[in-house]
Structure 1
């Protein structure tokens, strides 16, 4: 079941984080962001907090379950929706505990530069005729392309 936008707006209202808390719809559900970091997910109209060792004490009393099939258990903070101060404190603590997101453009440039450095060196062409003959004997000759073009007669109507 997809999460309603009104539920996400309610979370934002209850957390009192104003424009600091943003969200992005993903596969019918929502990821909630603080400072560019994912801090929670809204799935099936429930609030799932990203777990971290730093926030374990704040989420210890919360029930846990997976937000979608095949996922690990996340603390479910639905009961904190009626406790704005605790919800705000949990979201801010989670934001401090999460690492900064990786910059996508820089990561691609780094991968590209590593690929260029790892490229194998090209062989130099043979300099003399004997070497060329040896090279041509070891490599199979390519068949020349046919010069004839197939023509089909179309039936006359």
Structure 2
């Protein structure tokens, strides 16, 4: 099953307070980017944030890890009921950004 464009559009809108949010199709699902950095994967309409110490601290005891697809590394799974709070979701992205690697330069 693949993610719907409606899910992607909604997440882009909800995270827009963190920076320029874009999505790119990859592996039949989506990679989510903030200011050019990959921040998350959306697989089967589920949101998986790249794990960082800052994101874990922000989530506290609510941090849930899961692989976005079989055989993948563990990501932070952000459940759908948390997506409605745009300020919370944008802040989660903002605190994660400094720990995420810069995009690789294209040759």
**TM-score, length basis structure 2:** 0.87
Cα deviation for residue 19 of structure 1 reads 7.3
Q: Distance in 2 between matches of 1:31 and 1:50?
A: 11
Task: Return the structure number with greater relative CO, CA threshold 8 A, min gap 6.
Answer: 2
Cα deviation for residue 13 of structure 1 reads 1.7
**TM-score, length basis structure 1:** 0.61
RMSD: 1.8
Instruction: Trace 1:61-80 onto structure 2 (pairs within 5 A).
Output: 61-78=62-79, 79-80=81-82
Q: Distance in 2 between matches of 1:99 and 1:66?
A: 20
Partner residue of 1:43? Answer: 43
Partner residue of 1:29? Answer: 29
Unaligned runs of 5+ in 1: 106-157
Unaligned runs of 5+ in 2: none
Q: Which has the higher strand share?
A: 2
Tell whether the 8 Å contact from 2:56 to 2:63 is kept in structure 1 after alignment. no
Is the alpha carbon distance of 1:37 and 1:18 closer, same or farther for their aligned partners in structure 2, counting shifts above 3 Å?
A: closer
Q: Distance in 2 between matches of 1:68 and 1:44?
A: 9
SS at match of 1:32: strand
Flag the structure with larger Rg.
1
Is the alpha carbon distance of 1:50 and 1:18 closer, same or farther for their aligned partners in structure 2, counting shifts above 3 Å?
A: closer
Q: Distance in 1 between matches of 2:71 and 2:77?
A: 16
Is structure 2 residue 55 aligned with structure 1 residue 86? no
Tell whether the 8 Å contact from 1:14 to 1:84 is kept in structure 2 after alignment. yes
